[in-house]
């Protein structure tokens, strides 16, 4: 990457889309990030709703499998209630992608000498 390329990169901060990140955990399974909308002065922006993102990890024979999903909720209490189903749906998607990848790998034809 050249100096000219670096100068073309837009590093401007979108001051209309700022969030403060808070982490909530039960120290067992659940990890929830609450993204609180804020104004450029750091005060909360009451005109926008918080964003919740849940995360956990499951152990597999190959090692930990991270699971993450957006949680549709307006409050932390709602996010805590919605967490299990959001993780189930995300895990289902991860399993589907793994099966699809395994199927694609198995269907590859390897021709010797090419």
* d(C-alpha 22, C-alpha 36), whole Å: 8
Residue whose structure tokens are 């209490």: 77
Condensed to tens digits (0 to 9), the pLDDT of residues 18-68 reads 999 999 999 999 999 999 999 999 999 999 999 999 999 999 898 999 999
Identify the DSSP state of 69: E
pTM for the model stands at 0.79
| Contact predicate 4/16, CB 8 Å | no
Structure tokens at 9: 């990169």
* pLDDT tens, position by position, 64-106: 999 999 999 999 999 999 999 999 999 999 989 988 888 777 7
């Amino acid at each position: 990457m050249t100096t000219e390329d670096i100068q073309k990169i837009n590093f401007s901060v979108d001051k209309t889309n700022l969030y403060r990140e808070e982490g909530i955990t039960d120290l067992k399974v659940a990890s929830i990030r609450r993204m609180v909308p804020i104004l450029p002065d750091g005060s909360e922006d009451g005109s926008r709703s918080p964003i919740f993102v849940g995360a956990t990890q499951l152990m597999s024979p190959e090692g930990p499998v991270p699971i993450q999903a957006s949680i549709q909720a307006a409050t932390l209490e709602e996010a805590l209630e919605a967490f299990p189903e959001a993780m189930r749906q995300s895990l289902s998607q991860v399993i589907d992608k793994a099966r699809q990848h395994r199927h694609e790998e198995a269907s590859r034809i390897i021709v010797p000498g090419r």
